[in-house]
Structure formats: structure tokens, C-alpha cells
Structure 1
Amino acid sequence: MTVATTAETSGPIDAPIAPPRVVRQRRMRPGLLGLAVLLVALGGLGAAFAVTSVRATGSYLAVARAVPVGTVLAADDLFVVQVAGGQGLAPIPADRVDEVIGKRAAVALAPGTLVAWEQLTDQPLIGPGQQQLSLGLKASEVPARQLHPGDKLLLIGRPARDAEGGGTSTRFEATVIDTATPEDGELVLYLALAERDVPAVVVLAGESRIAVVLKTAA
């Protein structure tokens, strides 16, 4: 067998060999790395806040109209609102409205605000060592256009006309518990005052020798 050779394959070929290409690894800048970590953290906090807010959303009781101190709450004084979040709040859930109706306002309640248990009380405005009495006043004797439960009054007893030397006036502190307006237009005040002052005030009122001053509004 004859083997034919050619000049192209007669021997090794000397030629330059390209070196292998080395791929450089990119280095991440520290600032970009910190930004990425921050974004991830903020995303996690946002998700947690969203979940918490959704869980806290519910129906709560709010004040429908102004409620003075000492007023017994009725259904018309309340309405239901939807509150999302509620972080740091302790409002009364709407399904407990039956427990709220009939309680007294321990503080003045403003319309549109949420109702909390610490704003309510079962106790009357008559404190220890006090008694309640009623006092009728003519329109010209009322110290303000409206008196509300919790208002602090100063009752001033005028001396009798025949008192020797003109006499001296006496003063008594009282708190408004409630008010009423009979058909005759006279304003009736239901007051709480110290037991020791009740006999003197009754006598002064019976003789129409008492003036009423509004000391502090509730």
C-alpha cells in the first residue's frame, strides 16, 4: 500500500497559541451592599406592619354627640366606627355596647372620639360625706346659659334683711349632678354638697336668700 503525504501534513506547525481568557469577578461596592440590606429590612418591616394593621382592624364605639361629665350614656350618644391599626389605643369594641349604655361619663366626651373604659364610671357624682339636694332657680338667677353635671358651683347665702349690723354672707361649695326644666320654666339643680352644709342651704333656699355662682365648668 502506498501512503501519500502532502506538504501541509508533513510535520508539526509552529503557531502562536492564545492564552486562556480569565474572567474577572466583579466586586460589589460596600455602599450598594448596605443599600440592598436596608431595602430588604424595610420590606420586612412594611410587611409586618401591614399584617399587624389588618389584624387590629375592627369595629369600635365612638361618641356621637357631646356628653358632659356625669351624664348617663344612652344609645343615641354612641355610634360604630371601623378603625384600622389601633396601635397604642384601647377603644371599646362595638359588640360590648350593652355594657356601656347606662354608665356615666367620668370625663367630658367629645363628638367623634373613641370611647375607652377609663372614661366611664358606675359611681354617682356624690362623693363620701356628701348629700344631694334640689335647688330651684329663676331664669335670672342661673349663672350660665347651661349647667352640666360636674360643674362646680359656689352658693352664697345672703344675710337676712333684719340682721343686726347687716349680717355676713356665707359660702358653700356644690357640684351639679343633674338639671331639669319643669313646665313653669324654673331651672331645678340637683346638687351634691357636704353634709354639714345641707341644713343651712335648705334654710337659705326656703327664704330665697341664696345666690349661685359658677366656679368651674366641667
Structure 2
Amino acid sequence: MSRTKERTAAANGVPPQGPSALAVAPPRVSARRRRPGVIALSLALIAAGGAGVAVLLLQVGNRTEVLTVVRDVQVGQVLTENDLGKASIALDPSVKAVRGDDMDSVVGKRAAVELKPGSLLAPAQVTKDSLVKAGEQLVPIGLKPEQIPATALVPGQKVQLVHVPAQGQADTDEESSTEPETIDGRVVKASSAAPGTGIVVVDVATTAKDGPKAAAWVSTGTLRLVLAAPDGT
């Protein structure tokens, strides 16, 4: 093409033709290489996440509604709905607890042990029987630290109340040869040790006939409490 034609073509907006025109190369697109290790790791994470969600759903689904204690209940006290609450927990099969829908079965019963707020209510902690039965009397006995058995005193435990001679009292030959007088009893409640003195007060149920005698022994300081054997002897 002559210079005159090139100038005319440039004036008309037509790009020049011929060897002088530079060819524009298309952009180079590089294909991404897929790494098998990254893919495997991604699949493993997805699988682990799914398993975690499944475990969480199973744990939530296995929660059980149980009864809880919401305020202090003394031994022998009748339970009311105000003493109890409900909680949903993952309950271990070895833990014995009263189910939430069984509230009606425990309301109106008596506490067989002292109940503390925040604890689960177990079936063995309530009883339909009065801890002091008909024909019995309750005798409170104060025990000094040296008189308290190493074995913890619990409600329902059988004991013997033993009459011992007063300190300084002279024993006759006849009295010394006989066994001390005893009264059978049953622990209803044992308090915590009093601050400073360490004295523990134990409420013991005896027969109505033996109650006044045991109270007299307590007042004169001639009573001792002895744990009975497991078979009650």
C-alpha cells in the first residue's frame, strides 16, 4: 500500500493493513491442577463435621427430664410441689432419679433423708411411711465428739441406748455383775457437729414405753449410744 493510501485510510478511521500492524495475542489461561491431597482432606473434614452433628443430635435426643430439689427439706417433712423442680439432663443408666412425669407419685410423701437444693431426687430418698411410727416417741440425744461413732449416723440405722452409771457413783457387787440396761432405737436424724463444741444431736425413735426412760438417762448424762449390727442385733 502506498503512503498516500495509508494516510487516506488513517484519516477515514481504518487501521492500516500490512506487515507493520502488530497482532494481539489472546490471553493465556492456565488450567488449575487439582491436588488429590486437598480433595481428600476436604472430604474428611465434611465427613467429620457430619459425624459431630450426628453425635450432638443423639446427645440432645437422649436427654431425660428428672426431678430436682429446689429448697431444703428436713427428714420426715412432707414433700410439696414447691420443694421440687425439673431439669433435662443426659442421664447415665446407673444413676437412679425420679422422672419428671412422676412428680405426683412423690408429692405427699416424706423425705427419708435430708434433701439439699440442686440435687437430683432419688426414689430411695422418699418414703410413704412416717419416720416416727404410731406408738413411738422421738428422743433427742446430744453426743460429744468422743461419743460420736466413726461410722456416719444415717436415718433408719438401728441403735441401742445404753444406761451407764453416773460418774463417781459407787457400784455394788450386785450391780456390777449384771449387764447394763438397754433400749432399742432407730436413728431418725443426725445433725451436723455444732461449731465450737462439736456436739451432734441425734433424734432416736423408741417405743412410747421406753421414751421417758431414755429421756431421763439423757438428762442425767447416763446414756450412751451404741450402733447395732446390720441384722439389728
TM-score, normalising length from structure 2?
0.48
User: Within 5 A, what are the aligned runs for 1:155-166?
Assistant: 155-159=161-165, 164-165=172-173, 166=175
What RMSD in Å do the two structures reach over aligned CA positions? 4.8
User: Residues 41 and 118 from structure 1, CA distance in 2 versus in 1: closer, same or farther, beyond 3 angstroms?
Assistant: farther
Q: Percent identity?
A: 29
Q: Is the Cα contact below 8 Å between 1:68 and 1:107 reproduced in 2?
A: yes
Tell me which amino acid in the other structure corresponds to 2:137.
S
User: How many correspondences in the alignment?
Assistant: 170
Give, in whole Å, the separation in 2 of the partners of 1:131 and 1:162.
39
3-state SS, counterpart of residue 92 of structure 1: coil
Tell me which amino acid in the other structure corresponds to 1:174.
G
1:134 aligns with 2:137: yes
Give, in whole Å, the separation in 2 of the partners of 1:206 and 1:105.
25
Measured after TM superposition, the shift of residue 51 of structure 1 is 2.6
Tell me which amino acid in the other structure corresponds to 1:191.
A
Q: Residue 46 of structure 1: which of 44, 49, 52 is its match?
A: 52
Tell me which residue corresponds to 1:177.
188
User: Residues 112 and 149 from structure 1, CA distance in 2 versus in 1: closer, same or farther, beyond 3 angstroms?
Assistant: same
Q: Is the Cα contact below 8 Å between 2:155 and 2:189 reproduced in 1?
A: yes
Tell me which residue corresponds to 2:42.
36
- Cα shift readout 1:177-205 (whole Å, capped 9, x = no counterpart): 379xxxxxxx9955168xxxx97x46843
> Which structure 1 residue ranges, 5 or more long, are not aligned?
1-22, 180-186
Q: Residue 77 of structure 1: which of 61, 83, 86 is its match?
A: 83
- Cα shift readout 1:2-30 (whole Å, capped 9, x = no counterpart): xxxxxxxxxxxxxxxxxxxxx7964512x
Q: Is the Cα contact below 8 Å between 1:70 and 1:149 reproduced in 2?
A: no
Give, in whole Å, the separation in 2 of the partners of 1:102 and 1:110.
18
User: Residues 51 and 118 from structure 1, CA distance in 2 versus in 1: closer, same or farther, beyond 3 angstroms?
Assistant: farther
Measured after TM superposition, the shift of residue 62 of structure 1 is 0.8
Tell me which amino acid in the other structure corresponds to 1:86.
A
Tell me which residue corresponds to 2:109.
103
Give, in whole Å, the separation in 2 of the partners of 1:75 and 1:163.
57
User: Residues 32 and 121 from structure 1, CA distance in 2 versus in 1: closer, same or farther, beyond 3 angstroms?
Assistant: farther
Give, in whole Å, the separation in 2 of the partners of 1:135 and 1:91.
30
User: Residues 24 and 44 from structure 1, CA distance in 2 versus in 1: closer, same or farther, beyond 3 angstroms?
Assistant: closer
User: Within 5 A, what are the aligned runs for 1:113-132?
Assistant: 113-122=119-128
Tell me which residue corresponds to 1:63.
69
Q: Residue 223 of structure 2: which of 198, 206, 211 is its match?
A: 211
Q: Is the Cα contact below 8 Å between 2:137 and 2:211 reproduced in 1?
A: no
